[in-house]
């Protein structure tokens, strides 16, 4: 097996998902699952996480088939993290019907050598204390990125602030960015976040795309305009995973490379939402990725304007 | 005076606007006001509308100073259209506190020659029956565009459908597009609207930008990332007005021209929201427009990606 290039910390879970067209029960999900399966097209991912003894062997096999290194995934007596959600008609609003932390409730990440020397680290959305534990465990000077959610903004703002201060890249959706910073526009919210420490802030806007901000630069990538979305679950994690996978592969952390990485993330997310769980994300042809990169490039191009 | 190239039908009003930072009372507003003052940088606009006898002469003078032809604006005994709204902290949500139609309530558009032969027509958001009346009044075969709002989707869907069937360009925000078509994604909502008649559907997404769809093509333009928004009122009308003004000037209705026009509209909207009423929109330097066009072009550019 290739030695891992990207360490991803986050949930591995079972999701029951209701959409206007279908209900799927206990399918493979979790932030680390989507992120690693998007990243693996570009770099070898290793996941740090935990599953219960109810975690189906076929899910484990599926992740291994995808080339995901599960050495740092513990199996503990108890239940695997479970999430039950329902999407409204337009797929842009979702309601959480049930969350059961299970073994994830007492999870402590453990990162043995040589995994502590991986040079790219993505802290998917988990308790910020666990994100800090992982940062403490890492040797060398990895490129680090963190995602979060409104729950931690409300309940553990101080810990979350510490995470933001210590990572190189911070992922956040537009609403959370405004909530965190009390700023009004996403550009000013990004400024406030950048002043805390990260050198890149990535604002996720769902089906409207994503915006990247450094102190001096900005980039916008639109979402691929799809005719049908089957299940948006995991789109944000897939976006971040694809982006971090591309950065892990190139080792180039310049803003032009970040932009390319964000386009890759956008493309991977567009495949993710075309089916439930990993059903589409697990087998994407290189040519299909290239076509969607071109689609995004074409989407924003316009001729010279003479005034 | 230059003979008018763009006919704009819509409200001329007085707005009382509350934002988290300030309250402005009875300032000049209305869809036709914003649209015409954005369009005038590119083509000579004539407005069709009505004001009451309380309409301040200085507002009328201001519009004339902007080069807006007011020949088709009637002055009637009674009150000018009045809107009172409040914006929430993030400026993306607004609450209507009061709407008084005044003389706008019994308005019938009257378009005498030579105004009935103007070759570009923008039907801003007014009652769809009035939009149909204007379409009936026009001679020749003008390029026509219409905007609408959720009120008409709910209350007069049949009339609105007739408008959509008859115009060349239909402006709609993303939520309304989904509401109108019961489709889930903006691409499929656009498909449904295109099948009704227009050859271009423009989906407005506020501070996330705008998307253009024909049956075969698509284009996305992000909003200019501003550090501060003073008042979002009129941004959508300014966007449409700038776009239609550019199309009126070029007379080129190809998709590449529509894309350029949408960039122009986006730039004009970015100025509009930087101050109340026409305070910024009324005096924009050509160079400032050019700089923001370049900013939008740079915003979405990325280097070739090798997989």
A305 Cβ under 8 Å from any chain B Cβ: yes
Residues 260-299 of B with CB under 8 A from A: 260, 263-264, 286, 289-290, 293, 297, 299
What does the alpha-carbon distance between residue A269 and residue A288 come to, in Å, rounded to a whole number? 13
- CB pair distance less than 8 Å for B89 and A220: no
Subunit contact A303:B256, Cβ cutoff 8 A: yes
Reduced to 3 states, what is the DSSP secondary structure of residue B122?
strand
Beta bridge partners of A73: A49
Classify residue B1: in a domain, yes or no.
no
Report pLDDT digits (tens) over B214-245.
Answer: 999 999 999 999 999 999 999 999 999 999 99
pLDDT tens digits along A122-156: 999 999 999 999 999 999 999 999 998 888 999 99
CB contact under 8 A, B256 and A188: no
Q: With a CB-CB cutoff of 8 Å, which residues 239-258 of chain A face chain B?
A: 256
Widest pairwise Cα distance in chain A:
69
Rounded mean pLDDT, A229-238: 97
- Bridge partners of B211, per DSSP, are B203, B220
A88-133 residue pLDDT tens = 877 878 899 999 999 999 999 999 999 999 999 999 999 999 999 9
Do the domain assignments include residue B306?
no
Question: pLDDT band at residue B1, thresholds of 50, 70 and 90?
Answer: low
Closest-CA residue of A relative to B228 is A185
**Cβ neighbours of B64 (radius 10 Å):** 12
Nearest CA in chain A to B227: A188
Mean per-residue pLDDT over chain B, rounded: 96
Give me the number of domains chain A comprises. Answer: 1
The 10s digit of each residue's pLDDT in A260-306 is 999 999 999 999 999 999 999 999 999 999 999 999 999 999 999 99
Is A178–B289 a contact, with Cβ atoms under 8 angstroms apart? no
CB nearest B187 (choices: A90, A226, A256): A226
What's the DSSP call for residue B43? S
A295 φ, ψ to 5°? -60, -45
> Pairing mode, if any, of strands A210-213 and A218-221?
antiparallel
Domain assignment of residue A88, given as a range? 6-299
- Which residues numbered 26-85 in A keep a CB inside 8 Å of some CB on B? none
Asked whether residue B305 is assigned to any structural domain, the reply reads: no
Residues in chain B closer than 8 A to A87 (CB atoms): none
Q: What are phi and psi of B242, to 5 degrees?
A: -60, -40
Look at residue B67 and tell me if it is in a domain: yes
Listed in sequence order, the DSSP H helices in B97-181 are 128-137, 150-155, 157-166, 174-181
- Chain B environment of A260 (Cβ under 8 Å): 302-303, 305
Which chain B residues contact residue A205 at CB under 8 A? Answer: 208
Q: What is the pLDDT of residue B140?
A: 94
Give the other-Cβ count within 10 Å of B35's Cβ.
34
d(CA B282, CA B303) in angstroms, rounded, equals 37
The reply to whether A241 falls in a domain is yes
A219 contacts on B by Cβ (under 8 Å)? 299-300, 302
Residue window 104-133, chain B: list those with CB within 8 Å of chain A: none
pLDDT tens figures, B75-95: 999 999 999 999 987 787 889
pLDDT above 90: residue A2: no
Residue A180 has pLDDT above 60, yes or no: yes
In a domain, A306, yes or no: no
The CATH number linked to B95 is 3.40.1190.20
pLDDT at A1 over 60: no
The answer to whether position B139 is within a domain reads: yes
For B157, other C-beta atoms within 10 Å of its C-beta total 13
For chain A, give the mean pLDDT: 96
Domain assignment of residue A1, yes or no:
no
């Amino acid at each position: 097996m290739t030695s891992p290039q990207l360490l991803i910390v986050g949930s591995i879970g079972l999701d029951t998902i209701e959409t206007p067209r279908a209900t799927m029960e206990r399918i493979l999900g979790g932030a680390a699952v989507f992120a690693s399966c998007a990243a693996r097209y570009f770099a070898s991912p290793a996941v740090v996480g935990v599953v219960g003894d109810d975690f189906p062997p076929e899910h484990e096999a599926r992740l291994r088939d995808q080339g995901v290194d599960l050495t740092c995934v513990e199996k503990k007596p108890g239940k695997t993290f479970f999430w039950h959600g329902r999407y409204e008609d337009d797929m842009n609003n979702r309601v959480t019907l049930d969350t059961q932390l299970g073994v994830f409730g007492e999870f402590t990440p453990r990162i043995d050598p040589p995994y502590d020397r991986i040079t790219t680290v993505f802290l998917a959305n988990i308790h910020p204390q666990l994100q800090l534990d992982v940062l403490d465990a890492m040797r060398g000077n990895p490129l680090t990125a963190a995602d979060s959610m409104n729950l931690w903004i409300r309940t553990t703002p101080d810990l979350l602030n510490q995470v933001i201060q210590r990572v190189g890249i911070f992922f956040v959706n537009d609403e959370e960015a405004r909530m965190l910073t009390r700023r009004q526009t996403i550009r000013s919210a990004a400024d406030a976040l950048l002043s805390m420490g990260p050198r890149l802030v990535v604002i996720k806007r769902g089906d409207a795309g994503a915006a990247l901000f450094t102190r001096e630069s900005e980039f916008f990538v639109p979402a691929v305009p799809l005719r049908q979305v089957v299940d948006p679950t995991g789109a944000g994690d897939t976006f971040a995973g694809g982006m971090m996978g591309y950065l892990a592969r190139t080792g180039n952390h310049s803003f032009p490379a970040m932009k390319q990485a964000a386009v890759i993330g956008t493309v991977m997310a567009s495949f993710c939402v075309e089916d439930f769980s990993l059903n589409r994300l697990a087998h994407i042809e290189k040519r299909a990725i290239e076509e969607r990169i071109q689609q995004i490039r074409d989407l924003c191009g316009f001729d010279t304007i003479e005034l």
